[in-house]
Chain A
Amino acid sequence: MTAERDMTRVVRSWLRTDEHESAARVLDNVLAALDTTPQRRPPILPAWRISERMNRYVKIVVAAAAVLILAVFVYNQLPGRGSIGGPGSSPSPSPTRTLAPETFPQGALTIGRHGMDIAGKRLTFDVPIEGWTADAPYFLGYGSIGPEGFAAIWWTSDAPVGMFSDPCAQTEAPEVGHNRAELAAAVVGIPGLEEVVAPTDVTVGGKPATTVAVRMPDPLPCPKDQFYLWHATSADEGRFATDAGFIIYTWIIDVDGTLVWVDWETSAEPGSQPVAQIQALMDSIQFE
């Protein structure tokens, strides 16, 4: 019995750790969807039947009332209609992501050349086959992320400036120089990550770049959305792990003194077909 109580205490304690959910994003979506989500009214079922002996006058009144109820019902379903009792107070809007809405592709991408603005720099790239999708302002992907699919985070406003020295505690590491070499070295220095590709100097679109790849721990020592890796200015926007064991392939490109940063993520290993597709897209990049 004591052991049972201990187990209950441990489970309760465990369930109560990491209580830091922010529902801001969910609330934004729900409140925005209310205008286009009609309520479903219960069907109006007669609790009684009009008696055959009911006189004609009563039948007319009942029919008129039914028509009136139906009209009110339809009226209330019209977009923008509020409550019968008058408008209620609206909750104040929740804070949303602060990334600037740069020019970025959206939706399914056609085969051919596409463009995007990253950190104030314009670049174009080739989409060789169908199946690529984009979601402004930062997402580009192919298929479902995993052994055959992959996706990228493009840091559209500005490149990350620092890492987390304790990913689960979200403790910021001391700042490093804002240049390719030091940032790439800092990526592989994040505790718990396995170096898959050491920092390597390459060129992307004719610009000097550094690429590096790291594998997430498996299992992750904390929930994946609390395992933070790197962050933009002031740590107000951070990137966390997608899943245990996944590999992040990062390119840091120096475009005339401005850093352009992209993280590709997949569970595919270097040399695999998905990674070759990522490389082909990176090779097709041109800066304007």
Chain B
Amino acid sequence: MDTQLVIRAQRGDKGAYGLIATEIAVRFLAVARRILRDIDIAEDATQQALLAIWQHLPQLRDPARFEAWSYRLLVRACYAEGRAERQWTPPFRVVPPIKERASDDDLSSVVDRDELERGFRRLSIDHRTVVVLHHYLDLPLDRVADIVGIPVGTAHSRLHHAMRGLRAALDADSRPPVREEVAQ
């Protein structure tokens, strides 16, 4: 992120902040959606985060730390929106272009995706956040811990727990059905 742009936005330059928001909005929405597993809630969280960044930007002491600081506000917004009671929003928008699918080498089947989705949804938002920041944004765990506001050891622990849960979800699906023993 252009530090001069951040400084201008800190001084109240709405045009500068518009450029910043335009640059980060898609990435923020992608992160929020992966944490929250719901596009409507993710859009609300992203919107809340972008407005919170604008509001609190003058309080950011070091503009060079904008990225980590802004992710912290996004994670807070995800937590807040994830716990809020939801109102229905219309399922209606411009149809996106045909998407690219993961190759079979990367992800073996639709079943895997379904099981991963179910397993991921069963994780707490705390665990999902660590997985997304580490495995989607490729942030090292010390930076993840800084953004979430937890000790590095806790970040390691949450990641381990989350991955174990996801593995269990996949294993449960691949396990053959148990045959019932019939009493003689």
Contacts and interface: CB of A to CB of B under 8 A. Distances in A.
Interface of A: 3-4, 7-23, 25-27, 29-31, 33-35, 37-42, 76, 81-85, 87-91, 95, 97-98, 135, 138-139, 141, 144-145, 149, 151, 153, 169-171, 219, 221-226, 228, 231, 235-242, 265
B125 interface: no
Contacts of B99: 18-20, 169-170, 226
B110 interface: yes
Given A16-B102, A30-B50, A30-B51, A88 B14 contact: yes
A14 B107 contact: yes
Contacts, number: 210
A236 B95 contact: yes
A15 B29 CA distance: 13
Q: Which bucket holds chain B's interface residue count?
A: 35 or more
A237 B91 CA distance: 11
B88 A242 contact: yes
Contacts of A145: 88
Nearest to B96: A20
B30 interface: yes
B56 A40 contact: yes
A11 B131 contact: yes
Contacts of B13: 82-85, 87-88
A12 B135 contact: yes
A170 B101 CA distance: 12
A171 B46 CA distance: 29
A156 B22 CA distance: 30
Contact of A224 (B43, B90, B91): B91
B87 interface: yes
A83 B11 contact: yes
A240 B91 contact: yes
B98 A171 contact: yes
Contacts of A170: 95-96, 98-99
B63 interface: no
A15 B8 contact: no
B88 A144 contact: yes
19 contacts: A4-B163, A7-B167, A13-B106, A15-B132, A22-B94, A30-B50, A33-B51, A76-B12, A81-B12, A84-B13, A85-B11, A88-B19, A90-B18, A91-B19, A141-B88, A238-B93, A238-B94, A240-B92, A265-B91
